[in-house]
C-alpha cells in the first residue's frame, strides 16, 4: 500500500488499531456532549463545538453502516483482549489451588473452553493477510518503513519482526497450525502449548507497540484491575489463593510490557517510551 504522506499513513494505521465505538459508547458520548452544552451555555463557541460532536455521534449511531455492522474491530481491542484472557490463564497455570474451578464447575469449564477458542480466533484475525483485512500483519507491512524514519526502531529490528510475522505458518508455528486445523477447520487436533502462544505473542506485541507509539500518545488503563479480573472467583477460591493469582497475573502483564518496549533483536530496553500512557500528577506546595 502506498501513501502520499506520513500523515496519511498514520491516519490509516490509527483507523485500523483504534477500538470501534459500541452503542453504549456512543450513547454515553452523546449524554456527555449534552451535559457540556449545559455547562458552557454562556460560551457560544464551546457550546457549538459540543453540539457538533453530539450530532456526529447521533448521525453515526443511526447510520446504516453502524446498524449493519459494516466496521472492523480495532487491533488494540483484539490484542488487549487476547492478553487479558491469557494473563488469567497464566495465573492459574502458576498457582496451585485446592479446587480448580475449571475442573470442578461446568460454568468455569465453559469459560475456559470458550476463551481458549477466542484466543486462537483473535490470533487468526491479527495475522490475516487478505488485502482488505485490517489485521496487524497488514498494517505492519504497510507502515513499518515509517517507523525507521521516525527512529522508533532500527532497520534490523523491523527486518526481524517482518520476517517473524511473515514466517508464522502451519509448519513454523504450532499456534497457527492449531488455529487453521482445529479452530477454522475440523481437520486435526495438533499439539500446542501455552508457551507457543506466548512465543508468538511476544513478537506481535512488539510490532503493535511500535505502531501504537508512532500513531498516538499511548493507551490509558489498557488492562483491568486485578480485582475486576478475578471478580466472580471469590466464592470458589480462598483469599490466599486469590492473592497469589493476582500476583501471578501482574507478573504476566509485566512481561507483556517488556515485550512491548524491549528490542525484538537485542532483548534490551529500547527507550523509555511505551504504548501505555500514564498520568503523572505533581502537586507543588
pLDDT digits (tens, 9 = 90+) for 75-121: 999 999 999 999 999 999 999 999 899 999 999 999 999 999 999 99
Residue 282 within any structural domain of the chain = no
Same domain, 40 and 121: no
Residue where one domain finishes, among candidates 49, 71, 93: 71
> What is the rounded radius of gyration, in angstroms, for the C-alpha atoms of the chain?
21
> pLDDT of 2-50, one tens digit each?
899 999 999 999 999 998 888 999 999 999 999 999 999 999 999 999 9
> Residue 55 is part of which domain span?
21-71
| 168 and 266 share one domain | yes
Give the model's confidence band at 278: pLDDT under 50 very low, under 70 low, under 90 confident, else very high. Answer: low
Task: Identify whether residues 179 and 213 lie together within a single domain.
Answer: yes
Output the pLDDT for position 282: 52
Same domain, 128 and 38: no
Inside any domain, residue 170: yes
Same domain, yes or no: 90 and 231: yes
Q: Quick one: pLDDT band at residue 277, thresholds 50, 70, 90?
A: confident
Asked if the structure places residue 283 within a domain, the reply is no
The secondary element (H helix, E strand) that includes residue 165 is helix 155-166
Domain boundary among 50, 71, 92: 71
Distances (CA, A) of 244 to 92, 109, 231, 251: 9, 21, 15, 11
Helix/strand/coil percentages in the chain, nearest 5:
65, 0, 35
Q: Do 110 and 125 belong together in one domain?
A: yes
Domain count, the chain: 2
Q: Are residues 16 and 26 in the same domain?
A: no
The reply to whether 236 falls in a domain is: yes
Residue 272 lies in a domain: yes
Backbone phi, then psi, for 28, in 5-degree steps? Answer: -65, -40
- At CB < 8 A and 24+ separation, what contacts does 244-251 make? 244/95, 245/91, 245/92, 245/95, 245/97, 246/91, 248/90, 248/91, 248/94, 248/95, 249/87, 249/88, 249/90, 249/91, 250/226, 251/94
Specify if 38 maps to a domain: yes
Domain assignment present for residue 191? The answer is yes
The mean per-residue pLDDT over the stretch 232-248 comes to 95
Single pTM value for the model = 0.88
Is 270 a residue whose pLDDT tops 80? no
Count CA within 13 A, CB hemisphere, residue 145. Answer: 7
Domain match, 28 and 101 both: no
pLDDT in tens, 136-191: 999 999 999 998 876 778 899 999 999 999 999 999 999 999 999 999 999 999 99
**In sequence order, what are the residues at sequence separation of 6 or more whose Cβ sits closer than 8 angstroms to the Cβ of residue 143?**
9, 10, 12, 13, 211, 214
Same domain, 104 and 158: yes
pLDDT score for 284: 54
Does residue 64 sit in the same domain as residue 160? no
Cβ atoms within 10 A of the Cβ of 36, count? 17
Half-sphere exposure (CA, 13 Å, Cβ side) for 270? 23
Are 31 and 16 within one domain?
no
Whether residue 28 is contained in a domain is answered as yes
User: Are 64 and 178 in a shared domain?
Assistant: no
Amino acid at each position: 500500500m502506498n501513501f502520499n504522506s506520513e500523515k496519511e499513513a498514520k491516519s490509516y494505521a490509527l483507523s485500523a488499531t483504534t477500538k470501534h465505538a459500541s452503542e453504549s459508547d456512543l450513547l454515553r458520548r452523546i449524554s456527555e456532549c449534552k451535559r457540556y452544552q449545559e455547562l458552557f451555555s454562556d460560551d457560544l463557541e464551546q457550546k457549538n463545538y459540543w453540539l457538533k460532536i453530539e450530532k456526529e455521534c447521533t448521525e453515526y449511531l443511526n447510520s446504516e453502516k453502524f446498524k449493519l455492522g459494516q466496521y472492523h474491530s480495532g487491533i488494540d481491542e483484539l490484542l488487549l483482549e487476547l492478553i487479558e484472557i491469557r494473563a488469567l490463564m497464566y495465573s492459574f497455570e502458576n498457582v496451585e489451588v485446592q479446587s480448580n474451578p475449571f475442573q470442578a464447575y461446568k460454568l468455569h469449564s465453559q469459560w475456559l473452553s470458550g476463551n481458549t477458542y477466542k484466543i486462537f480466533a483473535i490470533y487468526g484475525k491479527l495475522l490475516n493477510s487478505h488485502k482488505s483485512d485490517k489485521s496487524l500483519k497488514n498494517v505492519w507491512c504497510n507502515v513499518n518503513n515509517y517507523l525507521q524514519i521516525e527512529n522508533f526502531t532500527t532497520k534490523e529490528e523491523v527486518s526481524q519482526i517482518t520476517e517473524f510475522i511473515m514466517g508464522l505458518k502451519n509448519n513454523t508455528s504450532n499456534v497457527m497450525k492449531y488455529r487453521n486445523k482445529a479452530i477454522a477447520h475440523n481437520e486435526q487436533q495438533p499439539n500446542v502449548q501455552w508457551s507457543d502462544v506466548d512465543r508468538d505473542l511476544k513478537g506481535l506485541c512488539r510490532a503493535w507497540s511500535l505502531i501504537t507509539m508512532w500513531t498516538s500518545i499511548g493507551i490509558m488503563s489498557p488492562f483491568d484491575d486485578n480485582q475486576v479480573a478475578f471478580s466472580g472467583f471469590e466464592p470458589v477460591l480462598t483469599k490466599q489463593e486469590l492473592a497469589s493469582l493476582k500476583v501471578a497475573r501482574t507478573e504476566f502483564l509485566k512481561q507483556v510490557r517488556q515485550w512491548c518496549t524491549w528490542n525484538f533483536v537485542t532483548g534490551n530496553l529500547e527507550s523509555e517510551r511505551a504504548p501505555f500512557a500514564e498520568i503523572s500528577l505533581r502537586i507543588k506546595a
